[in-house]
Structure 1
Amino acid sequence: MIFSSPLVSICNPSLRALHCIHLPLPPGPPPSGRYARQPQKFPPLTRRGELKMNVNRPQSEEPAPSNGHGSVLTGHALRNAHLRQRALQRAATAPPLAGAIVRLRAATLGLTRLEFSRRCGVSRGTLRDLELGVHVPTRRIMRQLVDFCQAQGVPSDQLEELRRLYTGDGDDLGHLLSRLELQAGSSRELARRVGISPATLWEYKRGNFPLPLALLKQLCQAVGEEEGPAEEIWHRTEQQRLLRRGYPEALAQFWVFCGRAGYAERHLFALGLSTATVRRMRYLELPPWEDVAVVAGQLCRESELETLRQLWLRDEQRQKKNARDGFGLRLKALRKKAGIGRREIADLFGIRGKKPARIIKYIEEDGFYSVQAYPAGLAALLTSDPSEQAELLRLWEARRRQFHSRHRPETRVDLRLRRE
């Protein structure tokens, strides 16, 4: 074996003892040109034997990352620090939820994407899509992330911010139910805990049906959520729903108090309200405050009664300023002119019940009508004047449109009016 050294060592492997014969190199000039040996320059080593990079860094450049104890990061630690810095730079322009996940991983936990995916059980590709904002995490993946961060000791305010970004920034009932579903793990699990179907919970979340307050409290108890903030959100959401349907503010507040106490419209008769009072409120007209003051005192809390009374008196004055359309009075005058009794009209239109003529009376007195009695047909029956019929039909359409906006705001009102 020949070595490129001043001496040439020749070893005979057949001998038991190693005998080395050192011979001098042949005389001559050393090799030059591209065959000449170049001196190798190795970077200095740290105390751990790792290569210390960028020793002669200019002062104007960014300083090398450190581990927080004054020593410069090297090797894999330096590469991971650069990866975290680039991830935080991308998080500044990412969607809010994606940026929160990146900051939680890179800044709070100090992990790379590979380390975070291995520890929390989410694949690296899925985590990449979540951080880039390509996909929104499912409830199962979001639950994995939250559980892992809780086990690592992440502050609760950061986890709450992550939940808020996932379920939405709004404080309406749909976002509240989304947060409850996230805490339960899934919508199916949350529905199972309170004994309802997932489809019913989905309908409540979409706002297709009003959510009872008692059921909302059960949902909060199932996941350990506080009931006070949930009740405030329910109160505000229910009031906005009634206002969108055309309710006066005082009447919307009254029905919200009824729903909070668990009373429906049929329960108000047992509380002391008369049939005429309930009928007026059914058609969004405010009766005198004296008729509902006793029941309102049973429904309201300490400071709510006076506020409701002021709203009621204000809206009552506004309704009095608006002149009535005179729809019922016109029908009554035409019926008397034609000499037709109320019972005859009720039998003609097939109105059933204990007192069918009373429905016609309600229509004549204040313009209230039943689904079974069609004022459009009454207008055609009681008069032959085309202009009078057109005016009655216009007033009937305005009343009927108000009825549909209260009961069925999601249906096509114009189509239903044409059918009727």
Structure 2
Amino acid sequence: MDFELSEKQRDMRGRVKDFIDSVIRPRTADYKKAAQAAEEAGNRWQPNPVIEELKPRAREAGLWNLFMPPHSGQDHVDDSFEFEGKQLSNLEYALCAEEMGRVHWASEVFNCSAPDTGNMEVLYRYGTREQKDRWLTPLMNGEIRSAFLMTEPDVASSDATNIETGIIRDGNEWVLNGRKWWSSGAGDPRCEVAIVMGKSDPDGSRHGSQSMILLPMDTDGVTIERMLSVYGYDHAPHGHAEISLNNVRLPADAILLGEGRGFEIAQGRLGPGRIHHCMRTIGVAEEALEAMCRRLTSRVAFGKYIYQQTVWEERVARARIDIEMSRLLCLKAADMMDRAGNKAAKNEIAMIKVQAPNMALKILDDAIQAHGGGGVSSDHELAATWASIRTLRFADGPDEVHNRAIARNEFAKYTDLKAKPGDTRGPVPTGAGAH
């Protein structure tokens, strides 16, 4: 197994890291000052001017739309050359995304922040030329933002077949009715379009009754009911909204790929999206470990530096071990996606999706403990970062769903999983290791 990075991988990671260290990090104080000024002026839901100032510099440096995937034979793409971005592989992007994760607002500077990344991939792979011209071009240019409306408050959305929002055909129009929440990105005043997943055929098959549709946010019947908070943080100006859709009418050509193909699109979107979060989370964990070590080596308690206490040696050692293991699993998943496809890598994607946020949360918690009372305050970013990462144990599927898939893949090596639940005769042993 070769762990040596290619020249392109080293170059792209180095360029992103250098840009963050030389251009983005030095503006951290300006970023915080601008956010504070906006809050005091009652204008918190406006874009931070520091990010807007740095975007042209990232684009000029050739560090823009890094996530846009290389064209593959499976894509529904006939004009990919016009929407290429940097065309990095998942493995190449993983290395860059880790660096972006070290500064929580860095991704947007490179036009690589969620949910736009996933939405742009959907439009790239499945959109018509007209849909791309209207929405993908301005998204790739950083002129607008977007949202993804999938989760619903009234059903267990971890099973997407439960989704009840209607996307019903009425002549030459689609009519949308339902309620969505955790619609990330909907608070941004630049959010002009959302991709909505809903049920287009109430009597259809389990995985053939859902569709995805493009929704301009200024359409009649779209109401942002409230902005949701995460442990008290509302993540302005990005935000997570609860949105009601009341008799929203859209033209027939707003549908993506075709009626009943929502699950097909979802599988194409969620695989890369899940691992993008994990890539950035590795960087979050590295940053937390650095903050913890700097604190421990500069603070004296009970007559010696805190790092000299045995318990902290154990915690720091565990943090370094867990980061290294998680990074290797993340890179393995990315490499498998590149070489064998998302479906072949589904088990690795599920494993890193569970591992990465749980790993980072433990390190963040230890870093908070190392900072004492300051750790739970807004004097440091640790508490806010913990709250943000905690949401990833739900986003793109909760831990329980991914753990179930991982376990069932393991059980399938030894049993017949087609046995009906509750069958007292137990599973039928199969394969190697069966007795």
Q: What is the TM-score of this pair, normalised by structure 2? A: 0.22
Q: Which has the higher contact order (CA 8 A, sep 6+)?
A: 2
Q: What is the TM-score of this pair, normalised by structure 1? A: 0.23
Query: Where is the strand percentage greater, Structure 1 or Structure 2?
Result: 2
